[in-house]
């Protein structure tokens, strides 16, 4: 594994060594249940959770009391969508985009079965939601708008500050999935008009199996109906014994990203721009998917004429790890709903794959990966007798 080049950071990131060091004591000697505050073992664990809550809140400009720890961003998204809707049963309309993560789309579909109406905003060819589309979709019955901060497949950044402002001015709650955004983005929930936000640790160099939900406490105060029931932890919104070590790890990870996101982002954008330019110079009929500038610094989505993504991945699986679509999808092979929303049922949509370097990726590794990818593209085209045609590739 050490010899393989990992270029799938939108699927998950390696844990930063500083995060592992912060977690280790809570996996060994400080093992108490943070709910058992009447004795010292539990009290020390509870203090660690409190500290991590403050660090997570600081990373997004929130108050510690506004952070609810969850088992991951998928759970946070479910709690946000189901929790807001069921807490406002008098309003039966929800709005989201057509390129959201399944952990947004599936709760929305569940609510449709319970009697809610959902409007799915279209996106342009770059995967962006238009402000006019949101304005046209809002009704007096709208309870919640949910639009992700950054797309996990094509890297496009959404105009969440402007979308949030539209909602705030109309008294509508705005939720955003920030799973992909936290590692390299600058977020402030007050400035950016965000009322509810889902956070992931493992997309920001922290551990898997832990996430958080930001729930605004004032102007407006957001109310959620619980979707899980049990011992009452996390204000009754996420019952169950807290995973102290993972929570500590998330706090450390987001503290690191708060300090390093700008530097990491600048370095990765430079590396990705070089990779993009060299690939397009060496290979014909290459199309970049997603917005050309308003995108995650560590994401490149390409569609290449005559190259089937899974065939390329299998050719390189011993040396380079990258992705044909979201790792959170099932193992059924089908065209991504994100690419379908952007391009329709075209070869460009079917031929997309994703290159995603990260904090620890070196320029040397990316150059080695480029050489191997270019070589295998040539082999695949030769084997199939493909004659690249850029004009035909878009259809």
Torsion from C-alpha of 370, 376, 382, 386, nearest 10 degrees: -70
Catalytic residue (one of 167, 272, 328, 379): 328
Query: Could you tell me the CA-to-CA distances from 327 to 10, 28, 180, 317, 384 in Å, in that order?
Result: 9, 31, 13, 15, 28
CA–CA distance, 385 with 299 (Å, rounded to integer): 30
Chain centroid to CA 108: how far? 18
Both tokens assigned to 349: 């949509």
Structure tokens at 339: 């690419």
- Secondary structure letter of residue 394 according to DSSP: T
Q: Which residues partner with 214 through β-bridges?
A: 67, 197
**Residues 176 and 197: beta-carbon distance below 8 Å:** yes
Q: How far apart are CA 371 and CA 213, in angstroms?
A: 41
Question: Which two three-digit tokens encode residue 166?
Answer: 């539209």
Q: What is the rounded CA–CA span in Å between residue 275 and residue 281?
A: 10
In 19-125, beta strands by DSSP E: 67-70, 93-97, 117-121
Q: Is 272 a catalytic residue?
A: no
Spatial separation of the C-alpha atoms in residues 296 and 294, rounded to whole Å? 7
Q: CA-CA distance, 343 to 123, in Å (whole number)? A: 10
Stated as kind and residue range, the H or E segment containing 378 is helix 363-384
Q: Give catalytic residue positions.
A: 328
């Amino acid at each position: 594994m050490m010899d393989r080049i990992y270029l799938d950071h939108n699927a998950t990131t390696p844990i930063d060594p500083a995060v592992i060091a912060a977690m280790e004591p809570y996996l060994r000697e400080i093992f108490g249940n943070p709910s058992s505050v009447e004795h010292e073992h539990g009290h020390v664990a509870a203090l660690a959770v409190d500290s991590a809550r403050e660090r997570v809140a600081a990373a997004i400009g929130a108050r510690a009391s506004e952070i609810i720890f969850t088992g991951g961003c998928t759970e946070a998204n479910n709690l946000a969508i189901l929790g807001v809707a069921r807490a406002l049963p008098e309003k039966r309309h929800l709005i989201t985009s057509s390129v959201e993560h399944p952990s947004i789309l599936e709760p929305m579909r569940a609510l449709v079965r319970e009697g809610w109406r959902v409007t799915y905003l279209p996106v342009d060819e770059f995967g962006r939601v238009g402000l006019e589309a949101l304005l046209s979709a809002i009704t007096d019955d709208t309870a919640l708008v949910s639009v992700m901060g950054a797309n996990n497949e094509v890297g496009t950044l959404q105009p969440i500050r402007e979308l949030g402002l539209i909602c705030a001015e109309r008294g509508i709650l705005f939720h955003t999935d920030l799973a992909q955004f936290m590692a390299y983005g600058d977020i402030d929930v007050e400035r950016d008009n965000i009322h509810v936000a889902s956070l992931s640790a493992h997309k920001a160099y922290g551990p898997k199996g832990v996430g958080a939900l930001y729930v605004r406490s004032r102007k407006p105060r957001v109310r959620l109906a619980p979707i899980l029931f049990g011992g009452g932890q996390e204000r009754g919104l996420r019952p169950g014994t807290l995973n102290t070590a993972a929570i500590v790890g998330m706090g450390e990870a987001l503290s690191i990203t708060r300090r390093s996101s700008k530097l990491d982002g600048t370095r990765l954008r430079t590396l990705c721009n070089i990779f993009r330019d060299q690939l397009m110079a060496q290979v014909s009929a290459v199309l970049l998917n997603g917005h050309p500038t308003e995108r995650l610094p560590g994401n490149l989505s390409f569609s290449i004429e005559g190259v089937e993504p899974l065939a390329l991945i299998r050719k390189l699986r011993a040396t380079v790890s990258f992705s044909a679509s979201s790792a959170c999808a099932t193992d059924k092979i089908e065209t991504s709903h994100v690419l379908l929303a952007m391009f329709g049922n075209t070869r460009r949509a079917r031929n997309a794959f994703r290159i995603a370097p990260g904090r620890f990726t070196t320029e040397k590794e990316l150059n080695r990966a480029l050489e191997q990818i270019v070589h295998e593209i040539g082999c695949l085209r030769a084997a199939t007798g493909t004659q690249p045609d850029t004009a035909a590739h878009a259809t």
